[in-house]
């Protein structure tokens, strides 16, 4: 089974600082996603920059940038045209483009093969995080760790576990499950 938390971490491209896409079903879900994705983001000294401007995204290669377009199709086309400037020199933190599922941005991406190839594999179904069967996931978590997500998180925050990549991802899962 693919772990949605892990998919999110991979999509954020912790080591590549590339571009990811977050599809959302409606504006309420988008606002939830903005916070959720920021909580999964690679460690950053500043909060995510939220903008609708591609130029601004390019101007801040060291920050996590959330691009929430006003005109989705135009923004996708602009990102496609400027993608090399976005990726070279390599970004330290990624750009996450927010697009309405089945909306004009998704249709525009189908006309922009270059950008589509860059985000391929980095546009997971973020809503899986919200739609996961919480009871099932909690039970799975307890089976794997012997602790409830809350109890596990308490120990994590107290520094009782080492910060290994596996446990960092587990902390994301615990946070998501605890919040439900």
Partner 1 sequence: MLDLLTRLQPHRPLDGDEDAYVERAEEGGNAIAAWVRAGRSSLLVLGPAGIGKSTELARAARDLQPDRFTCLIPLDRFENVRLVTPERALLRIAALLVQVAGQGLPGFSPSRDLSTAIHGPEPGVYSFPPPPVWDADTALRVACREVAGASKQGRVCLLVDGLEKAPESTFWNVADALGHIAPEVDLIVVIPWYVAYGQRTGEVLRPDEKLFAIHPVVVTGELGVPGRRFLQRLLGRHFAAAGGIAGLLETILDKPSPDPGVVELRGVFNRAIDMSGGIPRTYLQLIVDATMRAKFRSHDQPRTDDLDDAVADQRDSFRRLLSAGDEVALRDADGTDGRDLEWQQKIRLLNHGMLIESQEAGKPVLHIHPIIRDLLE
Binding site for partner 1 (CB under 8 A): 2, 6-7, 9-10, 14-16, 18, 77-78, 80-85, 87-88, 90, 106, 109-114, 116-125, 164-166, 168-169
Q: Which is nearer to partner 1, 135 or 176 (CB)?
A: 176
Rounded CA-CA distance 38/154 in Å is: 21
Q: Which residue's structure tokens are 């739609």?
A: 131
Q: Which is nearer to partner 1, 47 or 131 (CB)?
A: 131
**Rounded least distance, CB 25 to partner 1, Å:** 14
Q: Which is nearer to partner 1, 59 or 81 (CB)?
A: 81
**Rounded least distance, CB 11 to partner 1, Å:** 8
Q: Which is nearer to partner 1, 7 or 30 (CB)?
A: 7
First to last CA, the chain: 21
**Rounded least distance, CB 124 to partner 1, Å:** 6
**Rounded least distance, CB 79 to partner 1, Å:** 10
**Rounded least distance, CB 142 to partner 1, Å:** 19
Q: Which is nearer to partner 1, 30 or 122 (CB)?
A: 122
User: What are the distances in angstroms from CA 144 to CA 27, 139, 140, 148, 174?
Assistant: 35, 9, 6, 10, 12
| List of residues 6+ apart from 99 with CB closer than 8 A | 21, 22, 23, 24, 69, 72, 76, 105, 106, 109
Look at residues 128, 124, 127, 152 and name the one whose alpha carbon lies nearest to residue 138.
152
Look at residues 21, 10, 7 and name the one whose alpha carbon lies nearest to residue 108.
21
């Amino acid at each position: 089974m693919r772990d949605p938390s892990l998919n999110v971490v991979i999509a954020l491209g912790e080591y590549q600082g590339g571009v990811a896409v977050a599809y959302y079903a409606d504006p309420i879900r988008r606002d939830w996603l903005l916070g959720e994705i920021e909580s999964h983001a690679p460690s950053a000294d500043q909060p995510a920059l939220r903008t609708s401007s591609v130029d601004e995204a390019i101007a801040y290669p060291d920050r996590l940038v959330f691009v929430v377009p006003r005109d989705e199709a135009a923004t996708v086309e602009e990102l496609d045209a400027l993608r090399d400037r976005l990726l070279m020199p390599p970004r330290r933190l990624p750009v996450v483009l927010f697009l309405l599922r089945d909306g004009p941005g998704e249709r525009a991406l189908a006309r922009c093969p270059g950008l589509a190839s860059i985000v391929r594999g980095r546009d997971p179904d973020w809503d899986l995080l919200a739609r996961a069967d919480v009871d099932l996931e909690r039970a799975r978590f307890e089976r794997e760790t012997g602790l409830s997500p809350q109890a596990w998180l308490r120990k994590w925050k107290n520094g009782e576990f080492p910060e290994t990549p596996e446990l960092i991802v587990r902390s994301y899962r615990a946070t998501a499950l605890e919040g439900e």
